[in-house]
Structure 1
């Protein structure tokens, strides 16, 4: 509902809703909304997961920009009109904005991912060499031509597929713009992919993260210069994220050793000693030895810290 309740003419955007095999009343609710909001395009498909649903939406999208909004999340009032103004004056490849985490008790917290100075265009090479790319498909608007011209789609059947998506989008984009307004509200559902405590789910999440990471390491090798340096910066942060995931999900010693060996074989462990940020430097210092990772994993209190 947040997307149709915007101060923007309905002929300026399209709203594609993908029913990915839902078993609740979602489809009937959307069909009722269509009578009042004809901009809604409802696509029905068999359940295939988040990536499959996003890819289906991409296949029929006709606008100049793509904006992913997950089912539990919403867009701030009047934000689309402000984004449209920026698109009309600064048609950059990627438009970033502020994002807020929203918790079940109503509390909110800004997501502090590094952003360039507001209201200016920045070359993507400069951005990825100096700022950390957020692994989230909903972090901004992306020109549809990035997807169509470079055949970019999300890998299906994997969890945490956003790692793959953002690296590939930033690898082909040329310019980026940051609009300093809060647009996206990210609801922290207790049993979401990142918060799920099921053992089998977490084992798959870790397997998928390392599989996608391995593919990205090979993918980045085809680039050179600042573009490669910036993408390798993201890879080093992803390697750190995988290690932190091992700790947060309380993995066993055999699993930890196996994942660290795979990271080592890829040349990504021990972690790079480059001084990307204060936080990275601190965590790298704490987690650059297998014994320390196993130690922190054994401490339940460390799960929230990492």
Structure 2
């Protein structure tokens, strides 16, 4: 392992104003580390900003490549990583504290394959809103099947690849990669990560370690028709993966609720499209997928939302537009 305990993998695309803050937060981590920055075809000064740090620190590596998306960048980072664990962080985000040494000690003590913390939403006006779920399984090692199920049933599911460590050999041995060419790849990766092995041990800590920057123009803040089509493809892949698992009803239901949450998320994105695009998207979602998502609704709120979307799509849009109008009216007065 060359003495490297953690490989921090940073995909970067046109984030020149933020990447310095990201790298600085990784540098503060008190652990033997390497930092791998994948410049994914940036057209601004992202590469130049990253190079300033690479010139100063020998453990920082930069991969410059043509733009192929977040998944490809993460996969490239894992392929050259030498650390015992990998830690993903997006280049416009940052760590809130020095946590890595403590996380590594927990990994060794409990022989963990995965350790996770919570994240906070960081707003442009300086506000920080922590997203911490008071679940029953904090700071306890769990089998990954139980971790997934408890996260789902206690309404604490966070389908993100960031905010924690994953043992590198675990990723390699189970051939776990991010789906390239598609958005919302975390939703599929999350399922495969937790359900690909019966011998995977996970811990959810109570620490809030990750600052998720809420900015306009980020991948998660922009919507277009392709992203919804990608999400439909991800849902199909989720269902295919689930249907090939040999698990009992308790775990299968939890896995299906993860897939159902993908369609619930799609309904929110759907409302941002034009009427023509909405009709096209509706036609691309198989009826069986809609009904399956409804059957395994993640929450009662999702059940209501999906029911409106599936059975009364025009009314669903009308109610959304009315809510937007009323909100603007309240803000005006």
Tell me the TM-score normalised to structure 2 length.
Answer: 0.79
In 2, the alpha carbon distance for the partners of 1:275 and 1:141 equals: 29
Distance 1:232 1:202, change over 3 A: same
Assess if the C-alpha contact under 8 Å between 1:251 and 1:297 holds in 2: no
In 1, the alpha carbon distance for the partners of 2:176 and 2:305 equals: 32
In structure 1, the residue matched to 2:170 is 146
In 2, the alpha carbon distance for the partners of 1:82 and 1:15 equals: 18
In 2, the alpha carbon distance for the partners of 1:157 and 1:234 equals: 21
Assess if the C-alpha contact under 8 Å between 1:271 and 1:288 holds in 2: no
1:130 is displaced (CA, Å) by 3.1
In structure 2, the residue matched to 1:294 is 317
Assess if the C-alpha contact under 8 Å between 1:96 and 1:177 holds in 2: yes
The secondary structure found in structure 2 opposite 1:223 is coil
In structure 1, the residue matched to 2:25 is 2
In structure 1, the residue matched to 2:99 is 79
Assess if the C-alpha contact under 8 Å between 1:18 and 1:43 holds in 2: yes
The secondary structure found in structure 2 opposite 1:48 is coil
State the Cα deviation string for residues 20-55 of structure 1 (Å, max 9, x = none): 222333333333323432221222222222122111
Assess if the C-alpha contact under 8 Å between 2:83 and 2:168 holds in 1: yes
Could you tell me which runs of 5 or more consecutive residues in structure 1 were left unpaired when the two chains were aligned. none
In 2, the alpha carbon distance for the partners of 1:186 and 1:256 equals: 29
Alignment of 1:53 with 2:53, yes or no, is no
Matching of residues 77-156 of structure 1 within 5 Å: 77-112=97-132, 115-132=135-152, 133-156=157-180
Match of 2:210 among 184, 199, 221: 184
1:286 is displaced (CA, Å) by 5.3
Assess if the C-alpha contact under 8 Å between 1:97 and 1:182 holds in 2: yes
Distance 1:76 1:298, change over 3 A: closer
In structure 1, the residue matched to 2:18 is none
In 2, the alpha carbon distance for the partners of 1:191 and 1:118 equals: 34
Assess if the C-alpha contact under 8 Å between 2:184 and 2:231 holds in 1: yes
In 2, the alpha carbon distance for the partners of 1:271 and 1:258 equals: 19
In 2, the alpha carbon distance for the partners of 1:286 and 1:211 equals: 22
Assess if the C-alpha contact under 8 Å between 1:21 and 1:46 holds in 2: yes
Assess if the C-alpha contact under 8 Å between 1:270 and 1:289 holds in 2: no
State the Cα deviation string for residues 129-150 of structure 1 (Å, max 9, x = none): 2323322221432222332112
Distance 1:278 1:229, change over 3 A: closer
In structure 1, the residue matched to 2:6 is none
Matching of residues 8-87 of structure 1 within 5 Å: 8-9=30-31, 12-87=32-107
Distance 1:175 1:257, change over 3 A: farther
In 1, the alpha carbon distance for the partners of 2:134 and 2:209 equals: 16
Match of 1:223 among 237, 242, 245: 245
Count of residues in correspondence between the two structures:
295
Stretch of structure 1 that moved more, 176-185 or 12-21: 12-21
Stretch of structure 1 that moved more, 99-108 or 59-68: 59-68
1:303 is displaced (CA, Å) by 11
Distance 1:258 1:214, change over 3 A: farther
Stretch of structure 1 that moved more, 167-176 or 108-117: 108-117
State the Cα deviation string for residues 275-301 of structure 1 (Å, max 9, x = none): 754544554565553344233344361
1:101 is displaced (CA, Å) by 0.6
1:262 is displaced (CA, Å) by 4.5
In 1, the alpha carbon distance for the partners of 2:134 and 2:218 equals: 24
Could you tell me which runs of 5 or more consecutive residues in structure 2 were left unpaired when the two chains were aligned. 1-23, 328-333
In structure 2, the residue matched to 1:233 is 257
Assess if the C-alpha contact under 8 Å between 1:76 and 1:184 holds in 2: yes
In 2, the alpha carbon distance for the partners of 1:116 and 1:17 equals: 36
